[in-house]
A and B are shown apart, each in its own frame.
Chain A
Amino acid sequence: GAVVSQHPSWVICKSGTSVKIECRSLDFQATTMFWYRQFPKQSLMLMATSNEGSKATYEQGVEKDKFLINHASLTLSTLTVTSAHPEDSSFYICSANPRDFFSYEQYFGPGTRLTVT
């Protein structure tokens, strides 16, 4: 149980275009989903927290107009990288927290590798 999927697993796009990444909780409802960014051989940096039906909360330094997050349902959150540039190339990982007061865990997706050319 507690499986989180991401689609696509990898994507290559041209500079200036937009890319959408989906994060789905497959067998549980997620009140909260998180988006992380990971540069090569570095740790995960939290970008934003999204709650179903409300606006995402972005971490300091993350451009909310560039990284659009939509948490449309209890099982789906999307991250859209708008007007992508090569410096946006990274590994993006989402996680989900179950709709369960006693759950302290985040379940992580397999990640999406974005390459902007």
Chain B
Amino acid sequence: AQSVTQLGSHVSVSEGALVLLRCNYSSSVPPYLFWYVQYPNQGLQLLLKYTSAATLVKGINGFEAEFKKSETSFHLTKPSAHMSDAAEYFCAVSESGSFQKLVFGTGTRLLVSP
């Protein structure tokens, strides 16, 4: 069974600083990996996805993530944080071949200070 671990329930950065949100996964088969963002009282928006193509994935709003099989990681980064990036971020995994069912991590709240 798949699982996702997101280290750090809260991450605080200053505006303009590097954003790093960590995600480690467990899967018995090659995984598909996703990062979603959720703003208060809203649904989830897909930031980026890894589906066994390029290991460095670029997403929307300047975010990117790198799939590292040896480390079973899929960390999310952004070179320079904006105030508008403050939100909840979820990492999710699904099994290739059964790509529909998503398992979510516990989420990381990104706080951005001026």
Residues of A in contact with B (beta carbons under 8 Å apart)? 4, 6, 32, 34, 42-46, 49, 91, 93, 95, 97, 104-111, 113
Contact = CB atoms under 8 A, between A and B. Distances in A.
Contact residues of A: prevailing secondary structure: strand
Contact residues of B: prevailing secondary structure: strand
Contacts of A95: 43-44
B43 A108 contact: yes
B51 interface: yes
B41 A111 contact: yes
B43 A43 contact: no
Most interface-central of A32, A93, A104 (chain B CB within 10 A): A104
A32 B94 CA distance: 15
Nearest to B94: A104
A33 to B, nearest CB: 10
Nearest to B45: A108
Interface residues of B, number: 22
B94 A111 contact: no
Nearest to B44: A108
A3 to B, nearest CB: 11
A45 B101 CA distance: 11
B45 to A, nearest CB: 7
Nearest to B106: A43
Interface string B22-52: 0000000000101010000111111001010
B42 A43 contact: no
Contacts of A34: 100-102
Contact of A110 (B42, B102, B107): B42
